[in-house]
Amino acid sequence: MKIKFIKLIVFILTVLLIRFGFTFGMLFLTGFILLILGLIYILELSKRSNNKRVNILKNIYIIGFICFFISFITIETLAFINMNDEIIDKKIDYVVVLGSGLRGDKVSPILANRLDKAYDYIKKYNETDVIVSGGQGKDELISEARAMKNYLIQKGVGSNKIILEDKSTSTIENIKYTKDILKEKKELHKTILLVTSDYHIFRSKMIANGFGIDNIGISSKSSTFLRVNYMFREYFTIIKDFIYLKFYKIN
């Protein structure tokens, strides 16, 4: 492999990292390019050598690369086709809004978009109860659930219609603790309307299905930059949560 080619790749990656920072997308792109460079190196090495071990390593690398590529395309396609921002035109038992970080004691723009999407539904079906799900991070002044409740109250939603789930620190826990609330109310058979960001809706529905909760999902729109960036992260977190759900079912 020519040194000039490697230097060019390193230069391009450096420029991109300076421009966009260490985002999920940039880290993924860096890793993917390193995989490509590794594949080129293995192929060149196998051409120059008839060593049996090198050929075995080449075959393992190629199979692994193909598996990664197919799984990435499959998962990203599923995440993309499950994006749905159309308001559901029927009565649902519970609306569940998933948290997404705060700025001080206020909801972040991403979380505000989720709450606005939920509010569009609540305006039409104002008897529906809302579960706001999100705990308190180390850098947050209050829980995400409390901030979400405050936001919805300011928009005119009755305090008595909002249920706090303020212990969760992940999407798995969002759904798990929401299930506990439904169980406590003896309403596990009820259908929930999951509201979250477009890039996050597929994983959220997958987890809810894994916990045996009947659900419908609608998503708020993210900016193109955020959507692309977080879609790269979702590839790994979908795999992680899928494995968790498999062990959860076993246990």
The yes-or-no verdict on residue 29 having pLDDT over 80 is: no
Q: Residue range 88-116: average pLDDT?
A: 93
Q: In what order do the strands lie in the sheet with 192-197?
A: 162-165, 129-133, 94-98, 192-197, 215-220
Residue 133 β-bridge partners: 98, 165
pLDDT given at position 21: 67
pLDDT given at position 93: 92
Per 3-state DSSP, what percentage of the chain is helix, strand, and coil (rounded to 5)? 65, 10, 25
Measured CA to CA, the distance from residue 144 to residue 131 in angstroms comes to 12
pLDDT given at position 192: 96
Please name the amino acid found at residue 42: I
The yes-or-no verdict on residue 161 having pLDDT over 70 is: yes
Q: Residue range 45-49: average pLDDT?
A: 80
Among 81, 111, 142, residue at a domain's last position: 81
In sequence order, the 6+-apart residues with CB closer than 8 A to the CB of 211 are 175, 176, 179, 245, 248
Q: Residue range 41-67: average pLDDT?
A: 85
pLDDT given at position 213: 95
The yes-or-no verdict on residue 211 having pLDDT over 60 is: yes
143 and 60 co-located in one domain: no
Q: Which domain holds residue 232?
A: 94-250
Determine, yes or no, domain membership for 87: no
114 and 149 co-located in one domain: yes
pLDDT given at position 184: 95
Q: Residue range 231-244: average pLDDT?
A: 94
Whether 214 contacts 191, CB under 8 Å? yes
pLDDT given at position 150: 96
Determine, yes or no, domain membership for 163: yes
pLDDT band at 28 (very low <50, low <70, confident <90, very high): confident
pTM of the model: 0.84
Give the residue from 165, 10, 32 showing the smallest Cα distance to 96: 165
Q: Residue range 106-129: average pLDDT?
A: 94
142 and 26 co-located in one domain: no
- For CA atoms 73, 74, 78, 79, give the dihedral sign: negative
182 and 129 co-located in one domain: yes
Measured CA to CA, the distance from residue 204 to residue 230 in angstroms comes to 14
The yes-or-no verdict on residue 23 having pLDDT over 70 is: yes
39 and 110 co-located in one domain: no
Q: Residue range 53-60: average pLDDT?
A: 86
The yes-or-no verdict on residue 251 having pLDDT over 70 is: no
Check residues 214 and 8 and name the one with the higher pLDDT.
Answer: 214
Check residues 208 and 58 and name the one with the higher pLDDT.
Answer: 208
Q: Residue range 121-136: average pLDDT?
A: 94
Among 81, 112, 132, residue at a domain's last position: 81
